[in-house]
Amino acid sequence: MVMVHIVKPKHSTTNHTQSDSLFKHCIPLNSNCNLSLNWTVDGTLYLNTAYFVGGLFTQVPGGILATRFSPVRICGLSVLLSSICMVVLPVCIQNSQYIAVMVVRILQGIIEGPSVPAINGVISAWAPKSEKSRMITIAYAGAYLSPAVAMAVSGTLSCHVCWHAVLYLYGGLGILWSIIFMIVVVDSPSAHPRLSINERALYDREASAAQRSSTKTANAIPWKHILTSLPMSAIFVGSFCRNWIFSMLLTEVPTYMQDSFHNLNIFEIGLLSSLSEVCMTIVTVTGGVLIDKLIKSGLISTTVGRKVAQCSGFGIEAICIICLGFITRLEVVMIVMCVGVAFSGLAISGYQVNPLDLSPTYASVLTGISRTGVIGAILSTLTASVLRGRTRISHEKTWHEVFWIAGAIHLAGVLYYGIFASGHKQYWADGPPAEAERLVNPSSDPDFAQQPGDMEHKQFLSKSVTYDSVSQEDKEESDSPDWFLQSM
């Protein structure tokens, strides 16, 4: 949104900038709180690509770090350092240092890469078996609500306060949040000093079989089984498609509105771009609760629940995205976009929760691998930049092609997930059996040393970390693919 504000595009059919319409009622261009750069719009899209490229290289290492060290610390430090980079950005932008901005964006991507695998490691330890979808969707609802808030706030502050106000605001809030997060949150129930008796009883009954983060756990990661697992590949494909669409909505839709609806100002673009994310947040939370209730009641299996959530959510979104390529009226565009993006919230109860199903112990690693699906975001922003850079084709036609490509990829991803996904714990979920048994034996592992005489803590800790062999239900599917219709 900041780049949409400070980089004024020129349309091929006119000789003047769009400032009379896009920035009407905003701060005058000659104000100290305004900025106008001679960069190209296509160049600003590459800055988004740089961020996603940076994040690609630290997803898997982030998952390994969260398995080896405290996932809370990994996530908190990731957000802290990225927020510091956000505060540095305005200095680089104001001095028109494109290369410096590119470097900072790459650094932000590298630094933020471990945050999602790490937070999934925390959720894996804390989520009761019957509430995994609910906890994941509530946690990720913040990630999807934040763009809605950010677009509206960014448009307002850039238009009426100052072009860099939003960068300092988000940077400062990120620094504050990360410090509070690292102070308040602990890695697992067994490490929490103030759990009530009822809470301890809950985790005795429904705690996941996740092992505690340690060097031994990290060394026992079953890489071969993970990388050759078809259910794991289905999660990756779902992540790839989601990243393609999400990056398009987050970074390309404001430019699409700027190109296609010239009478909108920056405040209106921010407000309209945020509506679909608000709708998605509502469906994300309610969808997670619904899927959990259906699975817990026994009406559907975990596998069917994941596939129904994923295929219905992303399938409807894919159809709506394709339809956008045939629509030119703003009102209809907003309705179709809100419907499609809203239903995509159901899919968060699919591929996002799935790593916790396959392996609670290595959920961080699986999430890190799936998050390399950020390649989809890289290709999405590159595709938009290249197509928009053509001089002989109108921007309106270009955006129709962008939507058609995105929708087709999304449909292909739905088909793949529907065939190969699984909601059951895999036979390799706890690493090599002999090693896993040794890792979590409290009497032999110094990481699990207990205080003498603390019988309640001893009993709780023993139950929450004891090696849990694959249950009969888990064995039914193990790592073999199952066809979607057969699983129904």
pLDDT in tens, 131-178: 767 777 777 777 777 777 777 777 777 767 777 788 889 899 999 999
Of the listed ranges 357-366, 390-399, 433-442, the one predicted with least confidence = 433-442
pLDDT in tens, 241-288: 988 988 887 777 777 887 777 677 666 776 777 788 788 888 888 887
Mean pLDDT of 297-321: 91
Provide the pLDDT for residue 430: 75
- The rounded distance, in Å, linking the Cα atoms of 113 and 54 is 8
pLDDT in tens, 310-335: 999 999 999 999 998 898 888 898 89
Q: How confident is the model at residue 211 (pLDDT cuts 50, 70, 90)?
A: low
- The rounded distance, in Å, linking the Cα atoms of 352 and 239 is 8
- The rounded distance, in Å, linking the Cα atoms of 467 and 444 is 13
CATH number of 26-188+215-428+469-487: 1.20.1250.20
Q: Are 437 and 467 in contact (CB under 8 A)?
A: yes
Above pLDDT 70, what percent of the chain?
A: 75
Q: Are 59 and 368 in contact (CB under 8 A)?
A: yes
Provide the pLDDT for residue 279: 84
Phi, psi (deg, nearest 5) at residue 7: -110, 105
Mean pLDDT of 170-199: 85
Q: State the sign of the Cα–Cα–Cα–Cα dihedral 163, 168, 174, 176.
A: negative
Whether 37 has a pLDDT exceeding 80, the answer reads: no
Spell out the domain ranges in the chain.
26-188+215-428+469-487
